[in-house]
Amino acid sequence: MRQVRKEILPGVYLTCLQTDKFKNGLLSVNLLTRLTRDDAAPNALIPSVLRRGTRRYGDMDALAAKLDSLYGARLEPLVRKLGEIQAIGFWADFVDEKFLPGSSSGLLEEVAGLLGEVLLNPNTRGGLLLPQYVESEKEKLLEDIRARVNDKVSYSRLRLIELMCAAEDYAADALGTEESAEGIGYVALSKRYKALLASSPIEIFYCGSADADRVENALTDALITLPRGELDPDLGTDIRMNTVEAGTRYYTEEMEVTQGKLVIGFRLGECMEDPDIPAIRVMNTVFGGGVSSKLFMNVREKLSLCYCASSGVDLMKGLMLVSSGIEPENYETALAEIFRQLDAVREGDITDEELATAKLTLMSRLQGISDSAGELEGFWLSQNVLGLEYGPDELAALAEDVTKEQVSAAARSVVCDMVYFMTAEEAAYEED
C-alpha cells in the first residue's frame, strides 16, 4: 500500500491509500470540532439531515436512485468521538473501477462529486435547513440516545466516563444528551452547520486503486465551494495525568440488570507526557487485551470470578478501562484480583510466553486492520489526530521489539481513578 497525506485546500487534509487489495473503494469526509455537552447533539444531527436531500436530489428517494446509478454506491452519515474531538461527516463505499468496464471510468469523480454535493449543497429553503427534515432526524437521534441504556455493557462504560470525567469534555458522548437534542431547532441548526463548514479542520480518507493525484483532483473539484474562515485554534484533547482525588473513587448504581457490570477507570499517567505507544498497547494486551491476557486467564478462567474481563486503552485521552461482568457477591474478590494482576504486570511478573502471546495477539489485530478498508479509515483518522505517521504494519513491527521492562514501566505509570459498579435493584434480588 502506498500512503500519501496532503493539504488539498485550506485546512482540508487528504490521506490517500493506494492499493489493489479491495474490491470496493472507500471515501470519507470528516469535519473535526470540539466535543462539548451543549454542541454534541446538534453536531451529530447535521450529517443525517444533510443526507436527506440536496438541491439537485431533493429527497432520500432521489439520492438513492442516484447512488443506484453509480453501481450501487453507498453514502452514509458518520459521527465519532476522538478523545475530546467530535468527528462528523460521511463515508462512501463504491465498486473500485478496476472491476468495472473501461467505459465506467470516472466513477470516483462522480462519487466524490455527490459526496461534496451532500455536504455543501443541502436541500434548503431561504438558506435554512428544511424543518421537516430536522424534526424527523431529531426524533431518530433521540431514539438512539435513549436506546443507549439497552446495552448495559456499553452503557456501564459510558456511565463510568460520565462520572469519572465529569469536569472534562471527554464526559460527553458523541451523540450528545437527550436534553440538548430536544432543544434543537432548524434555524439554530442551520447556523451551526454553516459555522462548522467554515471553522472545522477536515480530514478526508481514500482507499482504492486510483493514484493520489487523481483523488486529489476529484476532491478539490468536489469541495471547491467550501467556505473557509478562521479554523478553531483550540481543537485538541486535554490529558489528565493524575486522578481527580487523592484516592480511588467508588460509585455504585442500581439498574435493571441480571448481571453486575464492573468498570474500572485508570489514568495512564505520566507515561503520556512522551508516550511509547507500542509499549502501552503491548502492556494493555498483556494485562487484559485478549483471551490469553492475565485478566482473562486468571480472573475469568482460573478463578471463575466473572463472565468476561477485558481492558482497552484510549491513547487520545490517556485512559485505560477494565470491563467485567460479575455477580454482586464476587465484587470485592474480583476487584482485588484485577488489581493484583495489574500489580503483577507492574512488577515484571510476566512470563516470556505471556509477552510473546500478547505481541502475537496485537499483531493479529493490526493485520486485521490492514485487511479492511473500513478499519484502515478509522485507524488513519486516529493517527492523523494524534499526529502519527506510521501504519498498522509499522506499528506491528514496533510492538514486536517491545521489552518486558517497557511493559512494566508503562503499567507502573497507570493509576486508578474510579471504580463503577452497575448492579441489580434491591427488589430484583428479593424476587430472585
Is the pLDDT at 349 greater than 60, yes or no?
Answer: yes
Residue 212 C-beta-side C-alpha neighbours within 13 Å: 15
Query: Which residues touch 119 (CB under 8 Å, ≥6 apart)?
Result: 29, 50, 89, 90, 197, 223
Q: Could you identify the residue written with the cell 466473572?
A: 306
Query: Which residues touch 88 (CB under 8 Å, ≥6 apart)?
Result: 30, 31, 33, 43, 44, 46, 47, 77, 78, 79, 80, 196
Q: How confident is the model at residue 429 (pLDDT cuts 50, 70, 90)?
A: very low
Q: Which residues of 401-419 are buried (b: 16+ CB within 10 A; e: fewer)?
A: ebebebbbbbbbbbebbbb
Is the pLDDT at 425 greater than 80, yes or no?
Answer: no
Is the pLDDT at 431 greater than 60, yes or no?
Answer: no
Closest CA to 257 of 308, 322, 306, 325: 325
pLDDT, position 66:
98
Span 173-218, pLDDT tens digits? 999 999 999 999 999 999 999 999 999 999 999 999 999 999 999 9
Percent residues over pLDDT 90 in the chain: 93
Percent residues over pLDDT 70 in the chain: 98
Span 223-234, pLDDT tens digits? 999 999 999 877
Q: Could you identify the residue written with the cell 489514568?
A: 267
Span 121-143, pLDDT tens digits? 999 999 999 999 999 999 999 99
pLDDT, position 426:
65
Is the pLDDT at 31 greater than 70, yes or no?
Answer: yes
pLDDT, position 103:
55
Task: Provide mean pLDDT across the span 79-93.
Answer: 98
pLDDT, position 296:
92
pLDDT, position 432:
34
CA dihedral sign of residues 328, 330, 333, 337: negative
Task: Provide mean pLDDT across the span 28-49.
Answer: 97
Please provide the average confidence, as pLDDT, over all residues in the chain.
Answer: 95
Is the pLDDT at 366 greater than 90, yes or no?
Answer: yes
Q: Which amino acid is at 2?
A: R
Span 258-309, pLDDT tens digits? 899 999 999 999 999 999 999 999 999 999 998 899 999 999 999 999 888 9
Q: How close are the terminal C-alpha atoms of the chain, in Å?
A: 57
